[in-house]
Structure 1
C-alpha cells in the first residue's frame, strides 16, 4: 500500500488536476476541464491513505465502484492508481464519436462492435446483444464465439 505522500505524488503527477484542501487534513483533486458537472477525480484523500477516485459508470470498474461511482484506493499500488486516475480523467473529458467495427462469423453472420459512451457494445441487426467495459473483453468474447474482425 502506498503512503499518503506517495499517493499525493502520483496524483500530482497529473498536471490537469488541481488540489483543494478540505476538512480533517483531507484533499480533493479536481479536473476543471471536465465536460460534466462532476469535477472531482480524487475525493477525500486522507493522511491514513484512504481515498476515492470517481469512475462514474465505467463498466471496467463496476465490480469495485460504489453506487456513487467511487472506487476506494486505500490498497492501490502506483500503477493501479495511475491507471484509474487516467481512466477517470478520460471519462470526464471524452465526448467522442463512436468507433464502429464490423465482425463476421464463418457462417457469414455480421455483427458490429461499437465503442460509445465509454462501453463496448455488440449489436446484431441493430439489437444490443452484449456490453463490455473494455475492448479486450469484447474482442475475447467475439473470438470465442467464432467471429473475426472484418478489416
Structure 2
C-alpha cells in the first residue's frame, strides 16, 4: 500500500488538479476545467492512506465504485492510481454526445454494430442491445472471441 505522501506525490504529478485542504488533515483535488458541475477528482485523501477517486458511471469501474461513483484507493498501487486519475480526468472532460459506430460481421454474415455512446461501448444486433462494455478494448475482445471482424 502506498503511503499518504506517495499518493499525494502521484496525484500532484497531474498538473490539471488543484489541491484543497479540508477538515481532519484531509485533501481534495479538483479538476477546475471539468465540463460538469462535479470538479473533485480525488476526494478526502486522508493521512492514513484512505481516499476516493470519482469515476461517475464508467463501466470500467462499476464493480469498484459506490453508488456515488467513488472508488476507494486505499490499496491501489502507483500504476492503478495513475490510471484511475487519468480516467477520471478524461471522464470529466469528455463531451458525452460523441457517437461512434462501427459494423462488425461474422463469417455467416451476421452484422453487429459497435456503438460508443454516453461513455459506453454497446453492441447491437439490429435495434436490440446485446452487450455493454466500459472500454472499446473489452468490446473488441468480445467481438473477436465470438468470431466477428470489423467491416471495412
- 1:45-101, Cα deviation, whole Å (9 max, x unpaired): 000100000000100000011111000000101110000000000001101522211
Uncovered stretches (5+) of structure 1, i.e. residues with no partner: none
Between 121-130 and 84-93, report the one with greater CA deviation.
Answer: 121-130
2: distance between equivalents of 1:98 and 1:16? 26
**How is 1:2-151 mapped onto 2 (pairs within 5 angstroms)?**
2-95=2-95, 97-151=98-152
Shift of 1:144: 2.0
CA RMSD of aligned residues (A): 1.0
Shift of 1:22: 0.1
Shift of 1:126: 2.4
1: distance between equivalents of 2:24 and 2:119? 34
Uncovered stretches (5+) of structure 2, i.e. residues with no partner: none
2: distance between equivalents of 1:3 and 1:110? 50
Aligned length: 151
Shift of 1:145: 1.7
2: distance between equivalents of 1:6 and 1:15? 16
2: distance between equivalents of 1:77 and 1:146? 36
Shift of 1:127: 2.0
